[in-house]
Amino acid sequence: MRKAIKLSPVCLVLSSLLLATDYRFVKIDVPNAIATTAGSINARGDISGLYFDANGVGHGFRLIKGVFSIIDFPDASFTSARAMNARGDIAGRIHDANGNDHGFLLHDGQFTQIDYPGAAATVGRGLNNAGDITGNHFNNAGTESGFILKDGIFHNVRVPNSISTDVWMAEDNGRVMVGDAAMKSDGALHGYLRHPPGDFQFIDFPGLSVSCTGPRWINERGEIVGLFARVSTVEDCFAGPPLHGFLRRQGKYFAIDVPGSTSTSALAINDNGTIVGDYTDKNGNVHGFKAVPKDEQ
């Protein structure tokens, strides 16, 4: 069946009802780190992510009941523990000694390197409770496509008519997934929601003059979090602009900004609605955060 991008026929509404006051924000800093990013939160509230030490080296971390532990892939020069599922497995991204990208899985204390067959580089993004790993891979020409690794088999994911495609997260069924794609039509970055059997729906934060939206996680309730930027040109979208987090719930979009931040990225949401990510403070320092809905406390 031919895959197609389908714009939602329903008018997606931007709501101003969800404010920072609807959440209790908790700062997350790995001790002695110069920057911390919280990349995922599972059903138990355990968090995984990335931090940089005083020498600028990136390490993965796991935070369970207030206790941090370091996650370093053997002999890697960089490790990011991007995603953790309910059983505590972790997937993410590493750089080998030569700086090349690979995905990885940490399962029952054993590390496994993840490489898409024939790819020049592989990046791990997401890990669901079924053990499916999502991410992207690059061929020798530098073309980016997404993938899902399910039951030991790699499946390529490509948004039709895209310049590049990235898969960030899949629901536990391994069929519904979110990511972003740069499109040939305008060169801009569009988020997408993929439904089986391969129908793609744009997920773009409303009111942007230039699309610059990146979904990062979908939970089992279908809630999506990610990031967006208000830019005037396509080039600005890819030049590291200030970011805002967002939540998409039941077709409505809500902006999420940590109070006092200059940039916020919402990177994951668990089934209880708790959101994690990172933010930049007014001094330019990057911290992780956890945002707990006040009605869930």
Q: Please, what are the averages of pLDDT over each run of 10 residues along the chain (297 residues)?
A: 35 43 92 98 97 98 97 98 98 97 97 98 98 98 97 97 98 97 97 92 96 98 98 97 96 94 98 97 98 79
Q: Extract the tokens encoding 155.
A: 């499946």
Looking at the 3D structure of the chain, how many domains does it have?
1
Q: Residue 21 has what pLDDT?
A: 64
- What is the CATH number for 51? 2.120.10.30
How far is CA 45 from each of CA 48, 92, 98, 291, rounded to the nearest angstrom?
A: 10, 18, 35, 11
Q: What is the pTM of this model?
A: 0.93
Q: Residue 19 has what pLDDT?
A: 54
Domain that holds residue 105: 4-296
Contact by Cβ (8 Å): 1, 197: yes
CB within 8 Å of 234: residues ≥ 6 apart: 186, 187, 188, 210
Contact by Cβ (8 Å): 216, 196: no
Q: Residue 196 has what pLDDT?
A: 85
Q: Residue 22 has what pLDDT?
A: 87
